[in-house]
Structure 1
Amino acid sequence: MNQMLVSLLPVFILLGTGVLIRKFSILSGEAIDGLKTIIIKIALPSALFLAFAQADMGIENFWIFLLVFLLCAVLYIIGGLLHTALPGLFPDEYTNGYFTGFEFGMIGIGLFTAIWGMERLPTIAMIASGHEVFIWFVYAPILTSRKTGSIKIDRILKDFFRTPTTIAIFLGFLMNVLHVFPEISSVIAGQALIHSLEMISGVLAPLILFIIGYSISFKKIPLKKSLVLILSRWFFVLILGFGLLHLIKIFLSVDEFFQLAFYAFILLPPPFILPLYMKEDRPAEISFYSELLIYYTLISFAGYVVLMSVI
């Protein structure tokens, strides 16, 4: 219990600090936008590069990559089926976009490293690798096509290779599979570079938690619709996630921390990029999902408290 409090209390203190920063106008919205830029373009890519460069990408873990990719695909299909079969409960066109994906970048990394430390990040990064491929090469292109009416492969590749986070993932993965990272780590210049990236990554968790706290506004959104969406996503994610983990444990050798990291991964909220891909002529839907994601994030934090108390 004491160790759980030691790990969790700093998270809630940092969240509360973010709330106070907004309440007392300590930082302006422009300053917060500047912090977001530092996270997205510098701190997050640094952490992702180190995580994917050091993650276990052995052939055995290819099956984890594939199964997590399929989990995301199945959740997307379930969201679409619910919208088609039960339009009264799931009226929004973007129900499938909400049902799948996990906010690994802006929430997962910050929350995971704040609780379990940066040195544990490669474990959840290995779990998330199939998810990242799904998001950038399936999820984002499909939502873009629904918004613009077409899928442009060249645009997808351009977006992938000009986004700092995806570049970092690609380079880290490349160095991993080519076994270059140990070579870099063996020379002084490489050690200095890695240490610099570790120092930059160290600011990621507190900055993310500050910004989440700052973003909490508790704007009113339809209660019934919100509960239906939150509870139904949790139901399908947890049922499928538990089943998938059981399957992994049967066929692959995974340790207890891998299981904890997997639970931590599936507890994450839907992708924060969802509102950005919605059609501009749906302002009410965009506003609703933007707020819903904040509420879901807070419930995810509660899920982490439960996770730490039972495992």
Structure 2
Amino acid sequence: MQALLNVILPVFIVLGFGYLAVWRNWFSQAGVDGVMVFTQKFAIPCLLFNAMANLDLGQSFEWRLLSSFYIGALSGFALGVWGARYLFSRDWQDAIAIGFCCLFSNSLLLGLPITERAYGSGALTANFAIIALHSPFCYGVGITAMEIAKARESGGRASFFKVLKAMFSNAMIVGITLGLIVNLLNVELPEPLGEAIALIARAALPAALFGLGGILVQYRPQGDLRVALYVCVISLTIHPMITFALSFATGISVEATRSAVITAAMAPGVNAYIFANMYGRGQRVAASAVLIATGISIVTAWIWLTVLP
């Protein structure tokens, strides 16, 4: 109970305040859109740039950590696609959009602050290693699968360059890439520039949580409830269970296990809806799943914090 009160609730109170502010018209939807543009295109890329620039690459990108998390994520994607196609009789493009909801956990806006509050900022090294690959990996899988499905239906071939363009137009991937270059080349930034980037980065998580709450106001459950609940089960239970089992089997450290499992146990991120909207497929399921799973994750995150050592 102490973990619920001290770790999880502050995160969801900030998120809930953003929801309440927009719902009660204390803060406009246009203002929330501006906050999200600031966080997703500037503040979070600065946060990821700093993390990558200062990451111990030899220690952080540990294959057992990454395989535990991403095998779980791929399993979730496969189960999501299979269930949408064969249990709920959706076409392949809808099934891939629904599978993407099971693939893309909210590693940044929920996983990062909950891990930080539970175990301190020093426990985030494994989180940043996962996050560094998260968007490239998930968008790579989702876009490639969707382009193949579209090409099969139209009788053409999937475009490799379209996949790359979609991935590297994402500001967060640019921030990760630039931080990695600075790290590899051992570049030392001028102190005023480094401090400015750090100032922007410190605004990232609270602003993003507030903005996420405001964004969720417009994502009301709109049908397809059974499919959305199926996504919730995979995202909140199956993915973290697979990650936990693999972490235990491969013998990674307790700290890495915590980060991997908590990140895996997060609700689908807003990117799940962005992906669905980008292709015009499965938007109702994605919106409902993001909203419902985010609410349920208050309880499931507490359970995982209790289970983890």
Shorter chain as denominator, the TM-score bin is 0.7 to 0.9
Return 197-206 or 156-165, whichever deviates more: 156-165
Determine if contact 2:68/2:242 at 8 Å carries over to the other structure: no
CA–CA separation in structure 2 for the residues paired with 1:236 and 1:93: 18
Report the AA paired with residue 111 of structure 2: G
1:153 paired with 2:160, answer yes
CA–CA separation in structure 2 for the residues paired with 1:280 and 1:163: 13
Identity %: 19
1:102 Cα deviation (Å)?
A: 1.8
- Where does residue 244 of structure 2 map in the other structure? 242
Report the AA paired with residue 153 of structure 1: F
Deviations 1:101-148 (A, max 9, x none): 322244434554465555543320113444334213222232244457
CA–CA separation in structure 2 for the residues paired with 1:74 and 1:307: 19
1:243 Cα deviation (Å)?
A: 1.6
1:279 Cα deviation (Å)?
A: 7.5
Determine if contact 2:19/2:214 at 8 Å carries over to the other structure: yes
- Where does residue 76 of structure 1 map in the other structure? 77
Deviations 1:70-96 (A, max 9, x none): 333333223333344434699952332
- Where does residue 273 of structure 1 map in the other structure? 271
**What is the number of residues matched between the two proteins?**
299
1:39 Cα deviation (Å)?
A: 0.5
Deviations 1:40-89 (A, max 9, x none): 11101011112222333217713433453433333322333334443469
CA–CA separation in structure 1 for the residues paired with 2:246 and 2:235: 16
Q: Helix, strand or coil for the counterpart of 1:93?
A: helix
- Where does residue 305 of structure 2 map in the other structure? 308
- Where does residue 229 of structure 2 map in the other structure? 227
Determine if contact 1:267/1:304 at 8 Å carries over to the other structure: yes
Q: Helix, strand or coil for the counterpart of 2:42?
A: helix
Determine if contact 2:46/2:200 at 8 Å carries over to the other structure: yes
- Where does residue 293 of structure 1 map in the other structure? 290
1:132 to 1:248, Cα distance in 2 relative to 1, 3 A: farther
RMSD: 3.3
- Where does residue 257 of structure 1 map in the other structure? 255
Q: Helix, strand or coil for the counterpart of 2:27?
A: coil
1:224 to 1:135, Cα distance in 2 relative to 1, 3 A: closer
- Where does residue 38 of structure 1 map in the other structure? 38
- Where does residue 123 of structure 1 map in the other structure? 126
1:267 Cα deviation (Å)?
A: 0.9
Q: Runs of 5+ in structure 2 lacking a partner?
A: none
- Where does residue 22 of structure 2 map in the other structure? 22
CA–CA separation in structure 2 for the residues paired with 1:272 and 1:280: 12
Q: Helix, strand or coil for the counterpart of 1:270?
A: coil
Determine if contact 2:32/2:211 at 8 Å carries over to the other structure: yes
1:282 Cα deviation (Å)?
A: 6.0
Report the AA paired with residue 70 of structure 1: I
